[in-house]
Amino acid sequence: MTDPCPLCFRPVEREQALCPHCGAQVPGRFRCKDCKSEIPAGSKKCPYCWADVTPAAPPPSTAPADPRIAIDLFRLRTDVRARVMWGEDPKAIRAELVRQGLSKKDQDAVLGEALQERNQHFRQKGVVDLTLGVLCAVGFLATLVFWYFSGGRVNFKGLGALVLLIVAFPVASVLFLFRGIKRLARGGKGEAEASDVSQST
């Protein structure tokens, strides 16, 4: 059985007095390691099987949890998110997390969240690229239709603009469609950075 840590909300075993993830004290009752019965906080022996409670479950603390721990966790996630979005190698980021003492499970969670957000960002941009590609193709067709129905009655400036559109629309369409398909398929792999990513966390 586990209870959520009051600070980082990760699971904490009932017999643990401190959260193994962030070190916060967990108030309330605990379970004996031997008979699994609930024991009051502050007990040194289980009242049911008389097994020693090691470490002794501390009495509930009235002091507020240290906010610096939560800030550090928030900063860590924000830092990893920013580095992933800017295209930094995940191996280098993981090595830094190892140096900071983060467990492999937490490394996977933090990096996984950031990589998933990056992939989602680039797939959304891929949809936008595909839409622009289709619009450019429609613009090319509309230009050809206008050229056809004008019957050649276009002045010199108008002719230059039509030729420019006839050349520019298909080129832009191909480029947008190619990039959109690549982003949808690969989710940002090979992209240098997501400079237009939302600033919200």
Would residue 47 count as lying in a domain?
yes
* pLDDT interval class at 89 (50, 70, 90): confident
Per-residue pLDDT tens over the stretch 154-169 = 665 666 777 788 889 9
Find the mean pLDDT for residues 37-50. Answer: 72
Would residue 136 count as lying in a domain?
no
Alpha helices in the chain (DSSP H): 67-85, 90-99, 104-150, 156-186
Find the mean pLDDT for residues 119-134. Answer: 91
The residues near 98 (Cβ < 8 Å, ≥ 6 apart) are: 107
Would residue 114 count as lying in a domain?
no
* pLDDT interval class at 188 (50, 70, 90): confident
The residues near 97 (Cβ < 8 Å, ≥ 6 apart) are: 76, 80, 106, 107, 110, 111
Q: pTM for this one?
A: 0.52
Find the mean pLDDT for residues 131-152. Answer: 85
What is the C-alpha to C-alpha distance for residues 183 and 162, in angstroms, rounded to an integer?
A: 31
Pairing label, strands 11-13, 30-31? unpaired
How would you class 32 by CB atoms within 10 Å of its CB: exposed for 0-12, middle for 13-18, buried for 19 or more?
Answer: buried
Q: What is the mean pLDDT of the chain?
A: 75
CA dihedral 145, 149, 154, 159 (to 10 degrees): 20
Would residue 37 count as lying in a domain?
yes
Find the mean pLDDT for residues 44-52. Answer: 77
Would residue 130 count as lying in a domain?
no
What is the C-alpha to C-alpha distance for residues 11 and 3, in angstroms, rounded to an integer?
A: 6
Would residue 131 count as lying in a domain?
no
Q: Is the pLDDT of residue 125 over 80?
A: yes
What pLDDT shows up at residue 26? 64
Would residue 195 count as lying in a domain?
no
How much of the chain, in percent, has pLDDT values that exceed 70?
A: 66
